[in-house]
Structure 1
Amino acid sequence: MLLSALFWFPFLVPLNHALEFQYHNTAQVERYLYEISKNYSSITHLHSIGRSVEGRELWVLILGQHPREHRVGIPEFKYVGNMHGNEVVGRVLLLQLIDYLTHNYMSDPFVTKLMNATRIHILPSMNPDGFESSGRDCMYSPGRLNKNGVDLNRNFPDAFLSDFEQVREKEVDSVIKWLKTEMFVLSANLHGGAVVASYPYDNSNGGSELQGDSSITPDNDVFVHLAKTYSVNHASMQKANKCYDSKDFTDGITNGYSWYPLEGGMQDYNYVWAQCLELTLELSCCKFPPESDLPGLWDANKPALLAYMQQVHLGIKGQVLDLNGTPVQNASVEVQGRRNLCPFKTNQNGEYYRLLLPGNYTITVRYPGYEPLTETVSVPYGPDGFTALTHNFQFQKSTSTTFFVATEPTCPSPEVSNRENHSAALLSSTIITLTALTIHTLLLC
C-alpha cells in the first residue's frame, strides 16, 4: 500500500490535539503514522519492514534524536503490538505512546532524555490482517490468527525443536529479517487476555534450563527485574489481580514455561538468536475491551511503558577493538556464569550491549587470531542516568598459532523461508498442532 494512497482517508485528529481513544483501522493508522513522520521529521522516521499475507504494510515508526541511522553507544529498543489480531489494547497503547513521545519531546525532561539517549522502534500492528477480520467480543472474537490461519506466536524458529525447515509466515519472516538489520537490546510484545509480564523461556526440551516448573535462561535475574519493572510501575499488575480464567501471578510476573509451554514464540527467538531481551506483556483481561475502557488502560500502562524503555540503559556497553584501535565485528562477549545458547557478539561497529544488574562481572572477549581478553568490571545502575556503563575492550596480543575455539553450545542458524505459497498442504503441521491444543490454551497469548 503506497503512502500516496493515504491522502484519500480523513485524518484522525489534528496533531496539536491528543489522539482519540478509539480503534483505528489500518488505513487510519497508516495516515496517522504518515502525518506524525511528516510533522516530526527531525525525531521520527517511518518505514515498512514487510507486508502481511493480504499485502498490508508492517509499518515501524522510529523515534529519537537520530531516527534514521544507528549511532554508536545509542541502544536500540522496540515495542511490537497486535501480534494476535484480536488482542487490540497494545495496538492502541503504542499509538498513544507515539503521540505522547512526539508531543512531549523538548518539553518533558524525562521524554527528552529518553529519546536523546535511545533509538525507539514501534510496530503498532504485526498482524493487521487479523485485526481487520476481528469482531469486538471481549474474549472470543475471530482474528487471532493471520490470513493463513497461523498463530504468529507459534511460528518462529524454536531453540528447543528441530523445526528450522518450517515455512515462516510473511509477517514472521519480516520480523526475522528486521532483527538482522538492527542490534536490538531490549523489547516487549504486547498482548491481551491476562494481566501479567511474562519472560523467557517459553519452551524447554527437559535440559538444564528446566528448573522445577520453570524454564530458566542464563539471564534470569535480569528478566525477573525487567518483568517487575513493568508490573510495579503498572497501576495494578503487581497486585496479582487475576482475570476470571487465569492463575495467580506473584508480583504480576511469570516465567513463560511455568505459565504454559509455548513452541515457536517470538520472545525466545529474540533472546536466543537476536541477543535482544524481550518480554511478553499481557495488558488486559479483555482482548477487545470497549472503547470506554481505553483511557483507563492508557493511564494504567503509561508509567510502565516509559519505565520499561528506560531499562535499555541497564548494564554495560562499549566496543571491542583490535591492536590498532579498529572496531572488531563478530567478537563474542561472554559474561562468566552466563552460558547463552548463542553467544552475544559485536556488530559492524564493534559494539556490544549486555543488560546486567549492578555488581561485579568477569567478562571474556574472544575473536579468531587474538588471545582471549578477560577483565572484571564493576557495573553500576545505569537507567537513572540514561546510560549503561561504557567499557571498551582492546585486544593486546595476536597469535598466528592459537586459534579461537568456541566453548558455547552449538548455535543454530535457521534460514528464513522466502516461499510465498501458503497452501493448506503447507500448513498441515500447524493445523495438527492447533487441533491438539485445548480451548483454554488457544485463548492464551
Structure 2
Amino acid sequence: MFPSITNPILPEEDSPTELRCQRGMFLLFVVLLFITRAAALDFRYHDNTAMKEYLLHINTTSPEIAHLHSIGRSVRGQELWVMIVGLNPRQHTLGIPEFNYVANMHGNEVVGRELLLQLIDFLVEGYHSNSSSVKRLLSSTRIHLLPSMNPDGFDDADTQCLHNQGRYNHNGVDLNRNFPDVFSDHSRQPKQQREPEVEAVMSWLRSETFVLSANLHGGALVASYPYDSNQGRVLVGGASVTPDNDVFVHLAKVYASSHTSMHHGNSCVHSNKFADGITNGYEWYPLSGGLQDYSYLHAQCLDITLEVSCCKFPAEDQLQDFWTANRPPLIAFIQQIHLGVKGRVLGSSGPLQGALVVVSDRLDRCPFTTDHNGEYYRLLLPGNYTFMVSFPGYQVAQEMLSIPSNQNGFSALNHDFLMKPSSTAPAMIFPLCDHAHQQGGGATTSPTLFCILLLTLLLLDL
C-alpha cells in the first residue's frame, strides 16, 4: 500500500530534508502530469509538422480513447493522418456507428483543418474532465477525423481570402472533382486517373461502415447536401435530389441552425443568399466527382459539405471566434448519426454479409447492403417505413418499422431481420453499385433496370 499523503508513514532513517524532497518530487510529478494532460490547443495555424506533433501527443497521452493512423500519403509523400476518438478507438464495436469529418481537401481552405484539431482537443479534454455529454457521445459513436486531406496544397497556400493558390494537390488536381462520377456511363468514358489522396480516402471509406460524415470547406457560409451532379436526372425545382432528400435537408438544417450565423443565409457579401443557410449542391452549382455524392452512393454514408468561412484563409486572430461559432453544430451534427434504425440481418448460420436492405420508397442507383457483421444502419426521420430485405437462398423479409420521435439522441431504433431459408429464392442478386468499389469503376446497369430487377425479385416471395 502507498503511505498516506496527509499522514505519511516514513522509515525512521528519513530526515525532514528527505521528506521535503519526496513531497517536492511528488508535487512536480503531479504538475507535469496535469500540464501534459490539460494543456489546451492554442488558436493558431498549425503547419503539417505542428499538426503531426499534436496528433502524436494525443495518441500518446490518451490511448484509451484516441488512436492515430495514416490512411495513405499525398503526392509529396506526406501522411494523411486520421485520429479516431471513442471508447474503443482501435476497432469497430457492434451497434456503434462510425462517423467521419474530412477537412482541408482544398489546401487553401484552412479553417476546417483547425476546427478538427480543436474538436479533437475538446473531446479528449471533455473525457478526462468527466464531461457527461462528451462521455455519452464517445460511448455511443466512433468518430474519425481527417484534419488535412491535402497537406501539399496547404504548404503552397497563400493567405488570400478568395484566391486559389494551394487549392489543388501537388499534381494540380482539384481533389473534390477527382472521385468517380456516379452518374457517368463509365463504359463510354476513359478511366480517370485517381490522385493518391483520393485513392486513400476511397480505400478508407471501404475499410469502415461509415454512416454519417461531412467535409469542411471555405469561401462561403452554407451547408450543402447531395446531389452535386445530375447527368439527365429529373430536377425538383432546380435541385438534383436524392431519395433521402428529407434526411439531407434535416442534416443541413441541424448544422446551419446550430451555427451562430450560418442560418441567416447572407453572411458573405461575395456569395449567394441561402434560405436557412442550406442549399442543394446542384442547385448552387453543378460539379462532378465530388466527395459527398461518392460517399452517399458508393459508401452508403450520408455526407454533406460544410462551407464554414467566407474567407478561405482568414486572419489567425479569428480562429477562436470560428471555433465558438462551429463547436455546437459540429457536435450536434455528429449526434444525428443516431437517427433512424440500425440492426443486423441474420440467417440460419449467422450474420449475412451483402444482404440488400431497402426502404420501399427510397430506391436509388445503389441499394444499402449489410457489412461483414451483417450490420445495417439507415438514417431516417420519425415515421413509418416499409423495409424489404433480401439475400440469396432466403425469403424476402418485409416489415413495417415505426421510427419514434422521442428517441434519446444517442441510439437509433434497434431491429434485427431474421431471414427464413427458401429453396425458391433467387440464387443471386446483382446490386447496381459495388460497395467494395475498386479503382473507381462505375455502375454497369441503369437505375431503371435495377429497380425493375429488384422489385421482380422481391415480388417472387411476397
Question: Which TM class, normalised by the smaller chain length?
Answer: 0.7 to 0.9
Mapped pair 1:299 → 2:324: yes
1:100-249 alignment runs, 5 A limit? 100-105=122-127, 107-140=130-163, 142-161=165-184, 162=186, 165-208=191-234, 210-249=235-274
Displacement after TM superposition at 1:102 (Å): 0.1
Secondary structure, aligned partner of 2:312: coil
1:285 and 1:14 map into 2 onto residues whose CA distance is 35
Residues 190-225 of structure 1: CA deviation (Å, up to 9, x unaligned): 0000000000000001223x2231000000000000
Aligned to 2:346: 321
Secondary structure, aligned partner of 2:38: coil
Contact 1:164 1:415 in 2 (8 A): no
Identity %, equivalent residues: 55
Displacement after TM superposition at 1:416 (Å): 1.5
Instruction: Describe the shift of the 1:218–1:281 C-alpha distance in structure 2 as closer, same or farther (beyond 3 A).
Output: same
1:13-32 alignment runs, 5 A limit? 15-32=37-54
Aligned to 2:315: 290
2:323 and 2:346 map into 1 onto residues whose CA distance is 44
Mapped pair 1:374 → 2:398: yes
Contact 1:312 1:383 in 2 (8 A): no
2:96 and 2:252 map into 1 onto residues whose CA distance is 23
Residues 77-101 of structure 1: CA deviation (Å, up to 9, x unaligned): 0000000000000000000000000
1:215 and 1:406 map into 2 onto residues whose CA distance is 28
Instruction: Describe the shift of the 1:410–1:173 C-alpha distance in structure 2 as closer, same or farther (beyond 3 A).
Output: closer
1:140 and 1:401 map into 2 onto residues whose CA distance is 62
Mapped pair 1:94 → 2:119: no
Contact 1:369 1:402 in 2 (8 A): yes
Secondary structure, aligned partner of 1:80: strand
2:114 and 2:199 map into 1 onto residues whose CA distance is 24
1:207 and 1:355 map into 2 onto residues whose CA distance is 23
Displacement after TM superposition at 1:286 (Å): 0.3
Mapped pair 1:387 → 2:411: yes
1:412 and 1:329 map into 2 onto residues whose CA distance is 12
1:410 and 1:270 map into 2 onto residues whose CA distance is 12
**What is the letter of the counterpart of residue 178 of structure 2?**
N
Instruction: Describe the shift of the 1:382–1:169 C-alpha distance in structure 2 as closer, same or farther (beyond 3 A).
Output: farther
Aligned to 1:403: 426
1:341-352 alignment runs, 5 A limit? 341-352=365-376
Secondary structure, aligned partner of 1:165: coil
Q: Highest Rg: 1 or 2?
A: 2
Instruction: Describe the shift of the 1:369–1:226 C-alpha distance in structure 2 as closer, same or farther (beyond 3 A).
Output: same
* Alignment size in residue pairs: 403
Displacement after TM superposition at 1:108 (Å): 1.3
Residues 24-72 of structure 1: CA deviation (Å, up to 9, x unaligned): 1101100100000110000011000000000000000000000000010
2:40 and 2:436 map into 1 onto residues whose CA distance is 44
**What is the letter of the counterpart of residue 29 of structure 1?**
M
Displacement after TM superposition at 1:400 (Å): 2.7
Secondary structure, aligned partner of 2:109: coil
1:411 and 1:205 map into 2 onto residues whose CA distance is 20
Contact 1:381 1:388 in 2 (8 A): no
Q: Which moved more, 1:173-182 or 1:240-249?
A: 240-249
Contact 1:84 1:145 in 2 (8 A): yes
Aligned to 1:442: none
**What is the letter of the counterpart of residue 123 of structure 2?**
L
**What is the letter of the counterpart of residue 181 of structure 2?**
D
**What is the letter of the counterpart of residue 336 of structure 2?**
Q
Displacement after TM superposition at 1:113 (Å): 0.4
2:103 and 2:190 map into 1 onto residues whose CA distance is 25
Secondary structure, aligned partner of 2:377: strand
1:220 and 1:149 map into 2 onto residues whose CA distance is 33
Residues 112-151 of structure 1: CA deviation (Å, up to 9, x unaligned): 1000000000000000000011111122151000000000
Secondary structure, aligned partner of 1:38: helix
Contact 2:160 2:313 in 1 (8 A): yes
Q: Which moved more, 1:101-110 or 1:308-317?
A: 101-110
**What is the letter of the counterpart of residue 347 of structure 1?**
D
Displacement after TM superposition at 1:187 (Å): 0.1
Secondary structure, aligned partner of 2:395: coil
What is the TM-score with the length of structure 1 in the denominator?
A: 0.88
**What is the letter of the counterpart of residue 49 of structure 2?**
A
What is the TM-score with the length of structure 2 in the denominator?
A: 0.84
Contact 1:340 1:408 in 2 (8 A): no
Secondary structure, aligned partner of 1:160: coil
Contact 1:242 1:249 in 2 (8 A): no
Aligned to 1:332: 356
Contact 2:298 2:437 in 1 (8 A): no
Aligned to 1:254: 279
